[in-house]
A and B are shown apart, each in its own frame.
Chain A
Amino acid sequence: MTAQAPASTVPADDGVNFYTREEHHPENGTLLGFWIYLMSDCLIFAVLFACYGVLGRSYAAGPSGADLFDLKLVALNTLFLLLSSITYGFAMLEMAKNRTATTLLWLGVTGFFGLCFLSVELYEFHHLIEEGATPQRSAFLSSFFTLVGTHGLHVTFGSIWLVTLMVQVARLGLTAENKRRLMCLSMFWHFLDVVWIGVFTFVYLMGTL
């Protein structure tokens, strides 16, 4: 009688399951993990923004943002990054339809806009350094180059990752692994665009005011 009591409280096979018998993996463990990485990256940028906020007006009698920044160039760069964001979105839509060729095409367009962004940024940095506005000139310029340079480095590594994935997709097709990788890079790429909103607002626009 006592042995049967627990058995009667646990329904055996009447169709009600209180637990899963097979292994239950989270649906998108990688994507959640990558999201947490992005959040930690966000903290890096928060610290660099805080540095810029503290040091951004310490010109040491050197040039200020209003003297240096060319807002037309920044607007062009913003447009490049925004265009690359939407073309990556188109690549993801093509990926969802399992079209390898058009996915690769849109990824290529995204990479092109990424390179345009990097070229304009390198041109800007080169121009600033030529004018004597080097990172050593003032605390403002040190924090400026650190913040904008870190964002530029992220775009550089994102572009390398993009080319790597394009080779992978071209060779292996849109396998489940490649789709997962493309979704991670998609989050990374859009995240960089979000950081750029902060950069052009806090550094360029408010620095010119």
Chain B
Amino acid sequence: MSSEAHAAHGHGHEPGHEEAAHGSMKGYVTGFVLSVILTAIPFWIVMGDVFREPATAAIVVMVFAVAQIVVHMVYFLHMNAKSEGGWTMLAMIFTVVLVIITLSGSLWVMFHLKSNMMPGGTHTMGAPQ
């Protein structure tokens, strides 16, 4: 029974696949070093007031966050198009689409609602004036 089960699993358990499921020392260390760098730079940008324009700093910090999320996905969560026959990737793409719709939709609708409905009609999201 166990040998049969092992044979049935055989095609998916080549050494390379095993590596992908658990990662490798090199992969984890690479991911860690990249994460530290991608964390340190945005903290330095904000704490050291590197950019004069807060909007520029915000965009740069967000770009670093996206890069670090990708690093975590690849090196720590071992995302790739092949794991589980592609179903994890499909579930993630679906979720990312929902997340983008939720975030951008909420911000868009609520920002316009506020700027159209607030007495005084301030067109910023700042404190009431």
- Residue numbers of A with Cβ under 8 A of B are 20, 22, 24, 26-28, 31-32, 35-36, 39, 42-43, 46-47, 49-51, 53-54, 57-61, 71-72, 74-75, 78-79, 82, 85-86, 89-90, 92-93, 95-96, 183, 187, 190-191, 193-194, 197-198, 200-202, 205-206, 208-209
- For window 42-64 of B, CB contacts with A under 8 Å fall at 42-43, 45-47, 54, 57-58, 61-62, 64
Residues 63-77 of B, flagged 1 when their CB comes within 8 A of A and 0 if not, give 011001100110011
B33 CB to closest chain A CB (Å) equals 10
- Judged by a CB distance under 8 angstroms, whether B115 is at the interface is no
- Judged by a CB distance under 8 angstroms, whether B92 is at the interface is yes
A89 touches B28 (CB 8 A): yes
A206 touches B58 (CB 8 A): yes
7 closest residue pairs by CB, A with B: A50-B106, A89-B28, A201-B65, A39-B95, A190-B76, A46-B99, A96-B22
B115 CB to closest chain A CB (Å) equals 12
- Residue numbers of B with Cβ under 8 A of A are 4, 8-9, 12, 18, 21-25, 28-29, 31-32, 35-36, 39, 42-43, 45-47, 54, 57-58, 61-62, 64-65, 68-69, 72-73, 76-77, 84, 87-88, 91-92, 94-95, 98-99, 102-103, 106-107, 110-111, 125-127
Q: Give bound CA distance, A190 to B75, whole Å.
A: 10
Of the residues B23, B28, B54, B127, contact of A209 by C-beta under 8 Å? B54
In the complex, which residues of chain A have a beta carbon less than 8 angstroms from the beta carbon of B62? 201, 206
In the complex, which residues of chain B have a beta carbon less than 8 angstroms from the beta carbon of A53? 103, 106-107
Residue of B nearest to A208 (CB): B46
B107 touches A54 (CB 8 A): yes
In the complex, which residues of chain A have a beta carbon less than 8 angstroms from the beta carbon of B45? 205
